[in-house]
């Protein structure tokens, strides 16, 4: 649905502060006038127009279903799923979860240890009701044929397909995906052309792409022109170059030019990079002439950043965390992913941050967060823990039990599992702190573990794998239900 330029002006008028009202409204009026005659590519019947939208960015680990539902709850217009590699999706089986009606794409694990523990792994999950008309699937790919094969698996259940051409992380670039595609524009163009030719008409959804700045404005402009000519409906520009770290401020000098080029082709342009909240997004849109904005880091910390100040603004972390945990249990989110997200949302200075680290179940998380007064939430945690085998029927941690009838083997298994759990928690905590320090988070300087607790990550990983293998071998006679894959 097209957003009226006049409606955009009215939205901005109710969202900006008094100090910025005059210049912002002047820019908005100019944008509205231009929008009356602006060229627009046709939006397919099942697709969505990115114009006038404030959206959740695609984030690996931080963009799983509970995070997307939290963003939508607080007012996000669209949500991008985490980058999903084409090879990971190809070969999956689509199913509908009978308990919560989520659509899941699963496959048999290829990892030998996981094979012993899980019948299936959930590769991707969406909520067809709460995400209806608002979910964009992002592909990590470096091959047109694989991109099309992957997109065909999900296209009927999503509202758009986006190609990742901006992620600078090695897991994406090592195979020519992500930001590596910026160095091979011919390949990127061929991928977009294949998707536009085969997915857009067959499934009536649009194709878009997310990129980064190149070294010079001339190079960026040339690339944007080539991409817009492929038939895409939207382009997101992350206002950083590939080598730049998140702690480095976004560069907006090329933004107006990029938006103008997109508009020449009728393509919607979204700005990404240091977008703080809905009000800030609207200001950037008015100032630089972009059609929408994408929020990443701030949404990772608190999904209520999508709520306008006039509607209540940023919620407390306690409120956001409580809603997130509820969403996580409703959709049977993987427990380790839930714990990871809580370490992003709970301030490092809060005592609860460290108390969450040893938690092994949703029930314990509810207790640590002080949510036991909500009986419905407590019961939901109990059912979820049992479903995911996080606790045994008697309420104890499943990690303390073994299928063996020998008392000594039970003790050994429990000991091995405790070592595995402790090592895993230490590794996860140190990697999380390291990532935050690299991104410029000063709070983490006070969260360094004492020297006696610091471990070599590679050695710990090997030890954890050995311990996990030992436990798996002792429990191999006890098959795990397919639903456990979601844990």
Catalytic residue annotation: 167
Torsion of CA 257, 250, 246, 277, to 10 degrees: -100
Taking alpha carbons only, the member of 295, 340, 318 closest to residue 72 is 295
Q: Which of 54, 37, 77, 79 is nearest to 266 (CA)?
A: 37
Residue 453: burial class (beta carbons within 10 Å; 0-12, 13-18, 19+): exposed
- The count of C-alpha atoms lying within 13 angstroms of the C-alpha of 342, restricted to the half-sphere facing its C-beta, is 32
Give the neighbor-by-neighbor strand order of the sheet with 121-126: 93-96, 103-107, 121-126
Q: Write b or e for each residue in 60-90: b if 16 or more Cβ atoms lie within 10 A of its Cβ, otherwise e.
A: bebbbbbbbbbbbbbbbbbbbbbbbbbeebe
d(CA 267, CA 243): 27
Q: Where are the alpha helices (H) located in 289-361, listed in sequence order?
A: 297-301, 317-330, 335-345, 351-356
Q: What angle do CA 307, 308, 310 make, to 5 degrees?
A: 130
- The DSSP bridge partners found for residue 294 are 55, 272
DSSP 113-139: HHHHH-S-EEEEEE-TTTTTTTEEEEE
Coil vs helix vs strand at 27: helix
Go through the chain and tell me how many residues it has. 487
Q: Residue 473 to residues 284, 466, 482: CA-CA distances in angstroms?
A: 56, 11, 19
Q: How far apart are CA 376 and CA 380, in angstroms?
A: 6
Rounded distance, CA 68 to CA 61, Å? 11
Q: How far apart are CA 293 and CA 372, in angstroms?
A: 38
Cβ-Cβ contacts under 8 Å for 120 (sequence gap 6 or more): 106, 107, 108, 109, 482, 485
């Amino acid at each position: 649905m097209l957003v009226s330029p006049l409606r955009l002006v009215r939205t901005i008028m109710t969202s900006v502060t008094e100090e910025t009202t005059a210049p912002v409204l002047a820019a908005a009026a100019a944008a509205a006038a231009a929008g009356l005659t602006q060229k627009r590519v046709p939006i397919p019947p099942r697709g969505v127009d990115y114009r006038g939208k404030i959206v959740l960015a695609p984030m690996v680990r931080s963009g799983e279903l509970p995070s997307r539902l939290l963003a939508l709850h607080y007012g996000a217009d669209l949500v991008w799923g985490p980058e999903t590699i084409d090879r990971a999706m190809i070969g999956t089986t689509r199913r509908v979860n009978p308990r919560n009606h989520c659509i899941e794409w699963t496959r048999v694990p290829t990892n030998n240890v996981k094979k012993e523990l899980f019948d299936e792994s959930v590769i991707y999950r969406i909520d067809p009701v709460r995400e209806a008309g608002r979910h964009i699937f992002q592909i990590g790919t470096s091959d047109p044929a694989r991109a099309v094969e992957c997109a065909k698996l999900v296209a009927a259940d999503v509202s758009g397909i986006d190609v990742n051409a901006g992620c600078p992380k090695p897991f994406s670039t090592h195979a020519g995906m992500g930001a590596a595609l910026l160095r091979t524009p011919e390949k990127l163009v061929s991928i977009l052309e294949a998707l536009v030719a085969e997915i857009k008409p067959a499934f009536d959804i649009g194709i878009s792409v997310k990129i980064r700045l190149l070294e010079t404005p001339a190079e960026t402009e040339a690339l944007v022109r080539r991409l817009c000519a492929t038939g895409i409906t939207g382009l997101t520009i992350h206002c950083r170059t590939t080598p730049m770290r998140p702690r480095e401020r976004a560069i907006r000098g090329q933004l107006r030019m990029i938006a103008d080029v997109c508009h020449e082709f009728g393509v919607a342009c979204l700005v990404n990079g240091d977008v703080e909240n809905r009000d800030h997004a609207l200001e950037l849109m008015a100032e630089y002439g972009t059609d929408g904005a994408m929020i990443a880091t701030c949404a990772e910390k608190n999904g209520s950043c999508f709520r306008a100040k006039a509607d209540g603004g940023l919620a407390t972390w306690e409120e956001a965390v409580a809603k997130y945990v509820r969403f996580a249990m409703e959709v049977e989110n993987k427990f380790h992913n839930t714990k990871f997200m809580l370490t992003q949302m709970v301030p490092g200075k809060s005592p609860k941050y460290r108390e969450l680290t040893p938690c092994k179940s949703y029930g314990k998380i509810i207790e640590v967060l002080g949510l036991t007064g909500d009986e419905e939430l407590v019961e939901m945690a109990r059912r979820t823990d049992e479903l995911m085998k996080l606790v045994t029927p008697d309420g104890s941690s499943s990690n303390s039990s073994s299928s063996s009838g020998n008392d000594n083997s039970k003790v050994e298994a429990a000991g091995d599992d405790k070592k595995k759990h402790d090592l895993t928690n230490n590794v996860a905590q140190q990697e999380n702190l390291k990532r935050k320090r690299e991104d410029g988070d000063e709070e983490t300087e006070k969260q360094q573990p004492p020297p006696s607790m610091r471990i070599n990550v590679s050695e710990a990983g090997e030890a954890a794998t050995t311990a996990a293998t030992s436990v798996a071998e002792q429990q191999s006679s006890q098959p795990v239900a397919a639903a456990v894959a979601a844990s």
